[in-house]
Structure 1
Amino acid sequence: MAFLKHPGGFLRSCVVALSLATALVGDAQASDSTWQDVKARGVVRVGVIPARQCYYWQSPGSDEWKGFPVAMSRDAVDALGQAMGQKLKIEYVTTSWGTSILDVQSGKIDFFIGLAETPQRKQAVYMFGPLWTLPDVAVGRQGFNVDNTWAALNKPATRVAVAMGTTSEQAAKKYLPDSQIRSLKNSNDAILDVQSGKSDITLTTAIAGLAAMQVNQNLANMVVPRPLSAIPADGVTRRDGDGKFYDFLQKWATRYYAEGNTKKRVLEALGECGLDSKRLPADMIF
Structure 2
Amino acid sequence: MGHAEDEITPFLKARRAALDAASLGLPDGLARRRVRGLRREDVARLAGVSVDYYTRIEQGRAHAVSDAVVDAIARALRLTPDEHAFLRNISHGRRGAHTEVCDAGAGPRPRVRPQLLELLEAMGDTVPAVVYGPGTDLLAWNTIIGRIWFDLDALPEAELNGARLMFLHPDAKALHPDWEAEAEETVASLRAQIGRREDEARVQRVVCDLREQSEEFRHYWDVQAVRERTQGIKRILHPQVGELVLTYEAFSLPTDPGQRLCTYTAPKGSPTAAKLRTLTEPATATA
TM-based fold match above 0.5: no
Q: Please indicate the TM-score interval, normalised by the length of the shorter structure.
A: under 0.3
Structure number with bigger Rg: 1
Q: TM-score, normalised by structure 2?
A: 0.24
Q: TM-score, normalised by structure 1?
A: 0.24
